[in-house]
Structures are given as C-alpha cells and as structure tokens.
Structure 1
Amino acid sequence: MPMTTASLPSVPVEPEFLAEIESVLAEGESLAEFVEAAVRASVERRRVQAEFIARGLRSRDEAKRTGDYVDAADVVAGLQGKLDDARARLSKPPNSSE
C-alpha cells in the first residue's frame, strides 16, 4: 500500500517573525523544510520528556513499594563529587610526555 502524505496546517505569523525565521534558514533550506524539522524536533523532545516522566513515576512507585529510598542529600553529594573530579581533571595541564 503506497504511503500518503499530509500537510501541516498553515500558521499565521507576524511579518517580522517570518523575516526572522527566513534569516536563519540554512543555505538552500526552504521554509517548509525548516518547519518540518522544527516539528520533528519538538515531537522527539516531548516523547523523550514523557518517557523520562514515566521512568520517574515507575521509580517512585517502586521506592514506595519496597521502601528503598536514596536520600536527596546523598545524591547531591555524589553528583558534586563527580563534578569536582571532572573540574580537577580539566584544570590539570596536559601531560606532554604521552
């Protein structure tokens, strides 16, 4: 069965905003291509966000069920330690003997 396509609805915008959009188009990119890419990116962002929320809710429910919680202060301290380690690594001069 051949795949059919549909069109997105026309969206009225102020002339100034249309000019701003057109000013950021890539070389050879059409307004329709830009709009499609923006819609695709937004759909993907919302899908990822919904999955993130669903994972968080499942984790919450599992913690409630098992009573196995991690204290927020412990999580923050662990993350701070990782950040401190990364900053320390970045602040060291490169090893010239390698």
Structure 2
Amino acid sequence: MKNATIPSVRVEPEFRAEVEAVLGEGETLSQFVESSIRAGVERRRIQSEFIARGLRSRDAARRSGDYVDAEVVLADLQRKLVAARKRPAKHRN
C-alpha cells in the first residue's frame, strides 16, 4: 500500500522555532508531527470509548432501576474526605 501524506500546516515562525526547540535528539519535525497526530487520535479514540461506556452504563442503570443518585455519592465521598482529614498523618521511615 502506498503511503499517504498529512496536509502541511502553516504556523508563525516563532511557533515553529518553539516546536523545533523541543525536538528530541535526532528527531525530525516530521516525526514529531506524526507522533503528535497519533497521540491525538489515540486520545480521542479513548475519550470516545469512555463516553460510550458511560452512556451504556447509564442506560443499563435506568433499565434496571439499580443506581445511586449523584448527590448521595458526592455526600458519601465528602464524609469520607472529612474523616480522612481528621485522622493523623502516617509517617514513613
């Protein structure tokens, strides 16, 4: 399969200099751009999957009626936080 190209991006010279200043030893601008795009794609894929899981969980909870109201969860977490802050700190040796 033939390689494809990503469209070039026009940036201010100052920004290009900033990008070039953070390149790793022996790293090219093209390698940096490719790795940045790959990381962005992965981050968006993970975010989409996270949202989809949350929506499925919400729908399942609504169907079953087995869920806890957000205010109840937050109140419980707040009580735990208050209790944890009252406990003396443990010192490590």
Name the TM tier (shorter chain).
Answer: 0.7 to 0.9
What percentage of aligned pairs have identical amino acids? 61
Once the two structures are superposed, residues 51-98 of structure 1 have per-residue CA deviations (whole angstroms, 9 ceiling, x without a partner) of 01101110111111111111213433555538x76xx7xx4222x5xx
1:52 aligns with: 50
Gaps of 5+ in 1: none
> Counterparts of 1:50 and 1:20 in 2: how far apart (Å)?
31
Gaps of 5+ in 2: none
* Higher RCO, 1 vs 2 (CA within 8 Å, ≥6 residues apart): 2
> Counterparts of 1:73 and 1:18 in 2: how far apart (Å)?
48
Scaled by the length of structure 2, the TM-score of the pair is 0.80
1:7 aligns with: 5
Scaled by the length of structure 1, the TM-score of the pair is 0.77
Instruction: Please report the RMSD computed on the Cα atoms of aligned residues, expressed in angstroms.
Output: 2.5
Once the two structures are superposed, residues 30-51 of structure 1 have per-residue CA deviations (whole angstroms, 9 ceiling, x without a partner) of 0000000100000000000000
> Counterparts of 2:75 and 2:69 in 1: how far apart (Å)?
10
1:33 aligns with: 31
Evaluate the alpha carbon distance shift between residue 48 and residue 92 of structure 1 in structure 2; reply closer, same or farther with a 3 A threshold. same
Q: Displaced runs of 4+ in structure 1, greater than 3 A? A: 77-82
1:62 to 60, 63, 76: 60
The letter of the residue matching 1:22 is: E
